[in-house]
Structure 1
Amino acid sequence: MLDANRSGTATASPRATATELSVPLPAPALRPAPPGLTARCARAALSPWSRLSLLIALLGAAASAVLLFHPQRLLADGWPPQLGGALAALVFAGAYGLCTVAFVPRPLLNLAAGALFGSQLGLGSALAGTVLGAGVAFGLGRMLGQDALRPLLRGRWLKAADGQLSRHGFRSMMVARLFPGVPFWAANYCAAVSRMGWLPFLLATALGSVPNTAAYAVAGARASSPTSPAFLIAMACIAVPALAGTVVAWRKRHHLRGN
């Protein structure tokens, strides 16, 4: 406010002067609180390399369990007598899937399915176990290994294989299942590291595994009569795709080398 003095000159009152001269000071900047120990541990546990280490540990434990329990004894000892019929085939399918994740060879499991349950029920159980094991391996590889392994795909062959699986997933997986040149577990984890979708992977696995699985199941069911026509035809159906797979792999190797 302005006050008039005796000479008629307006002067500012002390209260107004103090109000005009007071300038609001900026608030001090708030520093972000350092992340706590829990947050740092969570980030470390969810990092790509930590998840890859967990995958390696799980696969190592599964392989060790296979070495300890010897699932190949099924061919000699048979299935537990407490289980029979469709329930036994269902339990066998679950065990089949877990064994394939633990690197047990599928031909051994397919022979066991045919020997235990016959051609038809053995084929159904083995196919269910095949799709189950492939899905479990694909999921583990996708969740725990893809982020860490994809930056390592720098070689010419690795890039070519990744591009083939990512762009032509269904066709590539059908070839891998029909012609047994690539190990089952290797195809699963290679597909998981690529950008192949779930549906093409599982569908190609289910369809492409039928001929080879059926041949092994029939061979296992007729193993007691190795001179029977069914057994001989089954063995031919096993040998011919293996030979064709060798030829395809040889030609594909030259194709990848040319690229």
Structure 2
Amino acid sequence: MRLLLLVVVVAALAVAAAVLDLPDVAGLRAWVAGHGVAAPVVFFAVCAVGTAAFFPKPVLATASGLLFGVLPGLVVAVAGFTAGAVVAFLVARLLGRRSVARWLGSGRLRVLDAVFERDGLAATVVLRLLPVVPFAVSNYGAGVTSVAPAAFATGTALGLVPTTALAATLGDAALDPGSPRSVAAAVGWLVLAVVGVVWGRRLLRRAGPPG
């Protein structure tokens, strides 16, 4: 699902570039740079709020590469996504397990309990790579498990780097979708998604049925 959404975003950008009078990447980044430090700060805030509000993360990750370039976009996006995930985590802790269970389902929470019980840091890293576990669901669900906030934040930041880097690379090359790096990033994303699905299903099976 994440891969499909990412493909749709990149395709839409390519079509828009072909039929509309859009600025080239250099012009767009010059416009962004003209706003100084405000641009990455605003984008960081958008990523943080969007993450907590269930906005599709691949859209923002792709936009980060288009607006800022791969490395700067990666840094801003990962920081924003991590901040939003921690906000969701803390909100869930504040609301309590009963409220979150009514929202996400008690079965999902039992599985997350079992996953995080083994190793909170490693489990968080793995869950960030898995398209079978929605990002927002794992953020709110983790908040009422035994994982420590520091382990959750660290694991989230580490686990977000590979997928965000690939999305940012696709965004960086969005107006040139046939370029070798664009194709390589798309293939890398597909491989990561397949590995994530297989790994994630094994992890969830070991954790027990959702009930």
Query: Helix, strand or coil for the counterpart of 1:193?
Result: coil
C-alpha distance in 2 between matches for 1:139 and 1:129: 15
Task: Go from structure 1 to structure 2 and tell me whether the alpha carbon gap of 1:233 and 1:142 turns closer, same or farther (over 3 Å shift).
Answer: same
Partner of 1:48 in structure 2?
Answer: none
C-alpha distance in 1 between matches for 2:62 and 2:105: 39
- May I ask how many residue pairs the two structures share in their alignment? 184
Partner of 1:227 in structure 2?
Answer: 178
User: CA contact under 8 A between 2:124 and 2:155: conserved in structure 1?
Assistant: yes
Amino acid in the other structure paired with 2:78: L
C-alpha distance in 2 between matches for 1:154 and 1:124: 33
Give 1:178-193 correspondences, 5 Å limit.
178-193=129-144
Task: Go from structure 1 to structure 2 and tell me whether the alpha carbon gap of 1:120 and 1:84 turns closer, same or farther (over 3 Å shift).
Answer: farther
Give 1:158-177 correspondences, 5 Å limit.
158-177=109-128
- Higher mean alpha-carbon deviation, 128-137 vs 247-256, is at 247-256
C-alpha distance in 1 between matches for 2:202 and 2:73: 34
Give 1:105-254 correspondences, 5 Å limit.
105-146=56-97, 148-149=99-100, 158-254=109-205
Per-residue deviation at 1:128?
1.1
C-alpha distance in 2 between matches for 1:155 and 1:139: 19
C-alpha distance in 2 between matches for 1:177 and 1:236: 19
C-alpha distance in 2 between matches for 1:115 and 1:208: 21
Amino acid in the other structure paired with 1:199: A
User: CA contact under 8 A between 1:212 and 1:237: conserved in structure 2?
Assistant: no
User: CA contact under 8 A between 2:70 and 2:169: conserved in structure 1?
Assistant: yes
Amino acid in the other structure paired with 2:127: A
Amino acid in the other structure paired with 2:122: R
Per-residue deviation at 1:84?
2.5
Per-residue deviation at 1:150?
6.8
User: CA contact under 8 A between 2:64 and 2:77: conserved in structure 1?
Assistant: yes
Per-residue deviation at 1:157?
6.6
Task: Go from structure 1 to structure 2 and tell me whether the alpha carbon gap of 1:151 and 1:130 turns closer, same or farther (over 3 Å shift).
Answer: closer
> Where do 5+ consecutive residues of structure 2 fail to align?
1-12, 17-21, 23-27
Partner of 1:5 in structure 2?
Answer: none
Partner of 2:10 in structure 1?
Answer: none
Per-residue deviation at 1:254?
3.9
User: CA contact under 8 A between 1:166 and 1:196: conserved in structure 2?
Assistant: yes
Between the two structures, name the one with larger relative contact order (CA 8 Å, sep ≥ 6): 2
C-alpha distance in 1 between matches for 2:94 and 2:141: 13
User: CA contact under 8 A between 1:180 and 1:241: conserved in structure 2?
Assistant: no
Identity of aligned residues (%): 37
Which structure shows the higher helix fraction?
A: 2
User: CA contact under 8 A between 1:179 and 1:245: conserved in structure 2?
Assistant: yes
Per-residue deviation at 1:163?
2.8
Could you state the TM-score of these two structures normalised by the residue count of structure 2? 0.76
> Where do 5+ consecutive residues of structure 1 fail to align?
1-74
Per-residue deviation at 1:253?
4.5
Per-residue deviation at 1:241?
1.2
Larger Cα Rg: Structure 1 or Structure 2? 1
Partner of 1:62 in structure 2?
Answer: none
Task: Go from structure 1 to structure 2 and tell me whether the alpha carbon gap of 1:164 and 1:115 turns closer, same or farther (over 3 Å shift).
Answer: same
Task: Go from structure 1 to structure 2 and tell me whether the alpha carbon gap of 1:89 and 1:157 turns closer, same or farther (over 3 Å shift).
Answer: closer
